[in-house]
Amino acid sequence: MLKTRKPQAPGSRIFLPAAVIFFWRFIGILISSPYNSPLCVLTLCAMRSKLVVGNWKMHGSLAVNAELLQAVRDGAGGLRTEVVVCVPYPYLAQAWTLLEGGAVSWGAQDVSEHDQGAWTGEVSGAMLAEFGCRYVIVGHSERRSFFGDTDGVVAAKFLAARRAGLIPILCVGETLAEREAGMTGEVVSRQLDVVVQASGIEAFAAAVVAYEPVWAIGTGRTATPDQAQEVHALIRGRLCAENAVIGNGLRVLYGGSVKPANAAEIFARPDIDGGLIGGASLAAADFLAICAAT
């Protein structure tokens, strides 16, 4: 028996297609706008949603995690910002179990540049994806400093994450010696350029960049909001030189000792789209307060 369609009100049949056509025409206009077009810049800046990522580093236990994850899940439901926790590998299954279906996403703190093979101790992007990960951190300063991740290795990990359908959070930043030598721009630009050359600027349409001044991580020192904004603007400008649509749409996080007391002032800067949070992400109240400050 043939199914019959219910009669529709006049004009209702063309409403949805018309809306879709308008949307894509608008996007086409936006993409074709000149790089310095106010329409392009203002629209994409307004479209950037805030993001706060907790990096647990090598902390946690099954019992402690259960309480922390539940508290973050309960508290994140009413927030406007996107909330992510990047947990140690052994706890990915626990994060998946406790966070699935809620407002909090989860991810990993590193990924192998290799997809599979005889690489003892490595974890591939496909493996992370099987545990429901959406994000993965690549190039964190601790990986660069203590484990020898060069710019080339970081670029390879960025590519591996994208191959697996993960969103890489690319970390860049300078040491205290480099800052004092006036090399901040040179160092950050080099770290970005290696990844852009390896992946192409298009890969940054599904990526996040985090600026972490190495001298402000775990030291209690924090870049002033103006110092952070200056480097964030440099990062965005560098990528806009390749593709203004992607550069202006990219979320750039700040990752240098963000606390509930300074989060709002830092996040108020125009090129700072949230934070990569270390120690404060291990206390649910502090982490949620930072998330609420965006």
pLDDT tens-digit map of 228-242: 999 999 999 999 999
pLDDT at 1 over 70: no
pLDDT of residue 220: 67
What pLDDT is recorded for position 45? 59
Do both 182 and 273 map to the same domain?
no
Active site residue 140: yes
Q: Is the pLDDT of residue 8 over 90?
A: no
Is a pLDDT exceeding 50 seen at residue 152?
A: yes
Domain count, the chain: 2
The alpha carbon torsion through 128, 291, 102, 87 (nearest 10 deg) reads 30
Q: What residues make up the domain containing 90?
A: 58-104+253-294
pLDDT at 17 over 90: no
230-253 as b/e: b if 16+ CB within 10 A: ebbbbbbebbbebbbbbbbbbbbb
Q: Nearest-CA neighbor of 255 among 30, 51, 7, 24?
A: 51
Round to whole Å and give the CA distance between 86 and 110.
Answer: 9
Pick the range with the lowest mean pLDDT from 15-24, 71-80, 185-194: 15-24
C-alpha of 243 from chain center:
19
Q: Kindly report the CA angle at 85 between 75 and 155, in degrees rounded to 5?
A: 150
| Tens digit of each residue's pLDDT (9 = 90 or more) over 169-205 | 999 999 989 999 999 999 999 999 999 999 999 999 9
Q: What is the pLDDT of residue 222?
A: 72
User: Is the domain of 158 the same as that of 243?
Assistant: yes
- Are 70 and 191 in the same domain? no
Which among 82, 142, 212, 232 is annotated as catalytic?
A: 212
Residues 117 and 248 in one domain: yes
What pTM was estimated for this model as a whole?
0.86
258 or 45: which leads in pLDDT? 258
- In the prediction, which pLDDT does 47 show? 77
Q: Is the pLDDT of residue 219 over 90?
A: no
Q: Is the pLDDT of residue 2 over 50?
A: no
Q: At 237, which helix (H) or strand (E)?
A: helix 225-240
pLDDT for the residue 46: 58
Pair (82, 160) in one structural domain: no
Residues with Cβ within 8 Å of 71's Cβ and at least 6 positions away in sequence, in order, are: 284, 285, 288
Tell me, yes or no, whether 238 and 152 share the same domain.
Answer: yes
Residue 30 CB: number of other CB atoms within 10 A? 17
Mean pLDDT over each residue of the chain, to the nearest integer: 88
Question: What proportions of the chain, in percent to the nearest 5, are helix, strand and coil?
Answer: 55, 15, 35
Q: Is the alpha carbon torsion for 181, 183, 184, 187 positive or negative?
A: negative
pLDDT band at 215 (very low <50, low <70, confident <90, very high): confident
Copy the structure tokens of residue 271: 């090129």
Q: Within a domain: residue 155?
A: yes
- The tokens describing 244, both together, are 């203004």
Residues 119 and 142 in one domain: yes
Residue 15 lies in a domain: no
What CATH number is given to the structural domain containing 163?
A: 3.20.20.70
Q: Which of 140, 142, 174, 232 is catalytic?
A: 140
pLDDT given at position 268: 96
Predicted confidence band of residue 11 (pLDDT cuts 50, 70, 90):
very low
Q: Quick check: is 113 catalytic?
A: no
Same domain for 248 and 116, yes or no, is: yes
Distance CA 204, CA 200 (A): 8
What is the structure's pLDDT at 285? 98
What pLDDT, on a 0 to 100 scale, did the predictor assign at position 257? 85
pLDDT score at 216:
82
